[in-house]
Amino acid sequence: MSSNESIEQERNSIAKILAEARRSLLRVTPEMLSGERENGTLIVDIRPVEQRQRDGDLPGAIVIDRNVLEWRLDPSSEHRIPQVTGYDIRIVVVCNEGYSSSLAAAVLQKLGLHQAVDMIGGYQAWLAIN
C-alpha cells in the first residue's frame, strides 16, 4: 500500500462524521419540541445572531453560541449556566437546519450528558410547522 492510499483510508468526510454522530442520538422532531419544553427539557438554540435576527427567536430556548456550548453545558465547568445542575439533564440542541446541532449534541454526550439530543431539520423545520 502506498502512502497516498494509506492517507486516503485515514481521511474522513463531514458526511461520515455526521452519520457517526447521529448514531448515538435519538433525535426529536419539530412536532415534539413543545412537549419537550413542557417536560422541563433545556432547549438550546445555537444559531448565529444573524440567523436569529433574520428568522426570529425560538420560544423557550436559551441561546448559547456554538463556540462556548461545551463550557456552558458541562456540569463540571466553572462557566456553566445555572440551569445545568447535573449530568442527567435533558437537552435538545437546535441549529438552523439540523446539521451542526447533531455534531454538538454528540459532543455533549461525550461530556457525559447522555440525554443530549438535537432536533431533526433544525429551526427551519420548526418554523415550517409554526
Question: Looking at the predicted structure, is the pLDDT value of residue 116 above 80?
Answer: yes
76/101 Cα distance (integer angstroms): 21
| 90-112: average pLDDT | 97
Structural domains in the chain, sorted by start: 14-129 (3.40.250.10)
25/92 Cα distance (integer angstroms): 10
CA-closest candidate to residue 69, choices 14, 111, 125: 111
Residue-averaged pLDDT of the chain = 93
Q: What predicted TM-score, i.e. pTM, was given to this entire model?
A: 0.89
Please report which confidence band the pLDDT of residue 12 belongs to, taking 50, 70 and 90 as the band edges: confident
**What pLDDT does residue 5 have?**
55
